[in-house]
Amino acid sequence: MKRIKLKSPAKINLFLEITGKRKDGYHDLITVFAKINIFDYVSMEKTAIEGIKVSMKNNSNLRLKKSGDNIIHKTALRFFEEFKIKPNVKIKLEKNIPVGAGLGGGSANSAVVLSGLCRMYGIDLKTNRKKMSLIAKSLGADVPFFLSEASFCVGRGIGDKLFPFKVKKKRYSIVLVYPGIPVSTKAAYSNLKLPGKKEAALNNLKCRKLVCGLKAGKDMGKIRDLPMNRFEKAIFPKYGGIKKAKEKIISLGADMAMMSGSGSSVFGVFSSDIAAKKAAKQIASGKNRVFLTNFL
C-alpha cells in the first residue's frame, strides 16, 4: 500500500473523575470516552526519499514552532524506531479539531498515524497489539482509546485501561461549542482539588449507573444527573467564558451539558435534531466555534 487517507475523530468525555495522583506524575481517573463525528484527516504516502515529512492544512488554532513539535512527527518516528524500518513517508494533516479544547484531537492524530503506518508497512496490528498499546500509551494517555475500534469506552488507570461498551440508542444530537479559549492540561491539573475517598466511591457508582443507562438506551434527560467532570470546578472560576457557554447551552434546552476533558469545549445533548440546530444557531456568535454532531 503506497497511499492512505484516514479520518481522525474527536472525542468527548461523558464522565470524568480524577481519583488520585500517581508516583509517575500522572493521575488515576475514571472516565467515559465517546467518539464523535468531527474529524481531522490524515493522508500518508510512501516516498522515494528517506525521512519523515509532515505538512498541514490548518483549519484550526494549532500553532507549531517547528514541524518536529507535531505529535504526528513524533508518532511516526517512534513507529519506525520500534519496528526498525527506514522511514520514507510523507504525511499531511488537515486540522479541523480545535486544540486545547478537551477533544483529544492530537491523540486521535497519533493513533491514526500508528494504525495507518501499520497498514502501509505490513505490520499486523492485532498480532502486535501489546506493543502498539505501549507505544500509544507513551505518546499520550488518550491515544490507546483512539487506537481501539470502540466508539464508547470506560477508561481507568490514566485512561489506558479500556472497557468498551455499546450504546443502545437512537441518535443523540450534540451541540459542541469551542469558546475560543484554549486550556492546557497542565493548567487544568494545577488548579484541581481531588475528591475524598467517600466522594470518589459515590462518583464511581454514578459512572456505573451512567454506563448502564447508555447501554439500555435511556434518553439523556432521564440520566442527566449522572454525568460529571471534576475539571469544571478547577476551570470555571478561572475561565468564566467556558462556564457561560455551558449555562447558555442548558438555557437553550439541552437534556444535559458538560465541559469535555480538561476543557475548554462544552457540549450539550439534545432530544432532537431540530432542537439542536436551533440552539447551535443561537449560540454561534463572537469567538464561539459551534459544531452540530453526534456519536460515532
Q: What is the pLDDT of residues 252-285, one digit of tens each?
A: 999 999 999 999 999 999 989 999 999 999 998 8
pLDDT digits (tens, 9 = 90+) for 172-191: 899 999 999 889 888 888 88
The average pLDDT across 82-102 equals 96
Residues tagged active-site: 11, 142
Beta bridge partners of 90: 45, 53
Confidence check: pLDDT of 64 > 70: no
pLDDT for the residue 207: 98
* CATH label, 173-293, candidates 3.30.70.890, 3.40.309.10, 3.40.50.1820, 2.40.50.1020: 3.30.70.890
pLDDT for the residue 190: 86
The average pLDDT across 57-62 equals 86
Categorize the per-residue pLDDT at 68 as very low, low, confident or very high, splitting at 50, 70 and 90. Answer: low
Confidence check: pLDDT of 115 > 70: yes
pLDDT for the residue 205: 97
pLDDT digits (tens, 9 = 90+) for 125-148: 889 989 999 999 999 999 999 999
Under CATH, which architecture does the 3-164 domain have? Answer: 2-Layer Sandwich (3.30)
What is the location of CATH 3.30.230.10 in the chain?
3-164
* Residues 243 and 236: beta-carbon distance below 8 Å: yes
Candidates 109, 89, 90; CA nearest to 99 is 109
* Residues 220 and 172: beta-carbon distance below 8 Å: yes
Q: Which three cell numbers stand for residue 287?
A: 469567538
What is the location of CATH 3.30.70.890 in the chain?
173-293
Categorize the per-residue pLDDT at 67 as very low, low, confident or very high, splitting at 50, 70 and 90. Answer: low
* Residues 103 and 82: beta-carbon distance below 8 Å: no
pLDDT for the residue 111: 98
Q: What's the mean pLDDT when you consider all of the chain? A: 93
The secondary structure of the chain as a DSSP string is --EEEEEEEEEEEEEEEEEEE-TTS-EEEEEEEEEEEEEEEEEEEE-SSSEEEEEEEE-S----SSGGGSHHHHHHHHHHHHTT---EEEEEEEE-SPTTSSS-HHHHHHHHHHHHHHHHTT--TTTTHHHHHHHHHHH-TTHHHHHSS-SEEEEETTTTEEEE-----SPPEEEEEE-S----HHHHHHT--PPPHHHHHHHHHHHHHHHHHHHHT--GGGGTTS--BTHHHHHTTT-HHHHHHHHHHHHTT-SEEEE-TTSS-EEEEES-HHHHHHHHHHH--TT-EEEEE-B-
Categorize the per-residue pLDDT at 170 as very low, low, confident or very high, splitting at 50, 70 and 90. Answer: low
Categorize the per-residue pLDDT at 69 as very low, low, confident or very high, splitting at 50, 70 and 90. Answer: low
pLDDT for the residue 287: 84
pTM equals 0.94
Written as one letter, the residue type at 220 is: M
pLDDT digits (tens, 9 = 90+) for 15-55: 999 999 888 878 999 999 999 999 999 999 999 999 999 99
Categorize the per-residue pLDDT at 65 as very low, low, confident or very high, splitting at 50, 70 and 90. Answer: low
